[in-house]
Amino acid sequence: MRTIFKNPPLYLVTDTRIAGLSHIQITRRAIDAGIRTIQLREKNLPKKEIYNAAIRIRDITVTRSIVFIVNDYVDIACAVNADGVHLGQEDMPVEEARKIMGKGKLIGISTHSLDQAIKAQDAGADYVGFGPMFRTKTKDAGHPKGITALSQIRKLIDIPIVAIGGITCENIRDVICAGADAAAIASGILSGNIKKNVDLLIKAVR
């Protein structure tokens, strides 16, 4: 299994409402705090504004060797030469996204069951997001799946797993020990002091 995610195993999902900052400000502060994988997620702005944010984030991340993923928008990911795209169950199929993105780019898929994770792997996804692990206020993604379900999926798929949903410094070690290659976090990093939150998360997984 190839390594996609750099240490620390923290995958930041941007959220301007939680942080009270722009996506650009979030990116700069997160990188300075030690984050090495960033997903731009924006559901409310016009697409042109999302593109404008993405191109600026790409400029920042490429000089610092940060993995940059765009949520949902395959066209924007391609246009800014992002490292990859993250798709939901209702988004473009992996096979079609691959035709557009090419073999050298990452394609991640949100999954909420073992069946979805296996199908994502078989379709050629580079990694799966799995969750929600725990209860979260950031996004209504259904009933928490928990550590046991994550452990079961880890035994049956070979591609990396990014756990998501309600992950904090109190439970991140359990998530990594259960088989997650990284933890996708929004509130746990962006609520309050980003540097302090990242330091606590890194300490918790060591």
In CATH, the architecture of 10-205 is Alpha-Beta Barrel (3.20)
Q: What is the pLDDT of residues 139-182, one digit of tens each?
A: 665 789 999 999 999 999 999 999 999 999 999 999 999 999 99
Whole-number Å distance between alpha carbons of 13 and 158: 23
Average pLDDT, stretch 74-88? 98
Domain regions of the chain by residue span? 10-205
Q: Tokens in use for 139?
A: 């996004």
Q: Do residues 63 and 57 make contact, with C-beta atoms less than 8 angstroms apart?
A: no
pLDDT band at 4 (very low <50, low <70, confident <90, very high): confident
H runs (alpha helix) in 157-193: 172-177, 187-190
* pLDDT for res 1: 44
**Predicted local distance difference test score (pLDDT) of residue 135:** 84
In terms of Cα–Cα distance, which of 190, 193, 189, 191 is closest to 9?
Answer: 189
C-alpha–C-alpha distance, residues 206 and 203, integer Å: 5
33-78 pLDDT per residue, tens: 999 999 999 999 999 999 999 999 999 999 999 999 999 999 999 9
pLDDT averaged over the chain? 95
Output the CA torsion sign for 197, 111, 123, 95. negative
Separation between Cα atoms, residue 193 and residue 94, nearest integer Å: 36
- % of the chain residues with pLDDT over 70: 96
Mean pLDDT of all residues in 130-143: 79
- Single pTM value for the model: 0.95
Tell me what pLDDT residue 85 has.
Answer: 98
Distances (CA, A) of 150 to 49, 102, 144: 35, 29, 11
Give percent of the chain with pLDDT exceeding 90: 92
14: pLDDT strictly greater than 50: yes
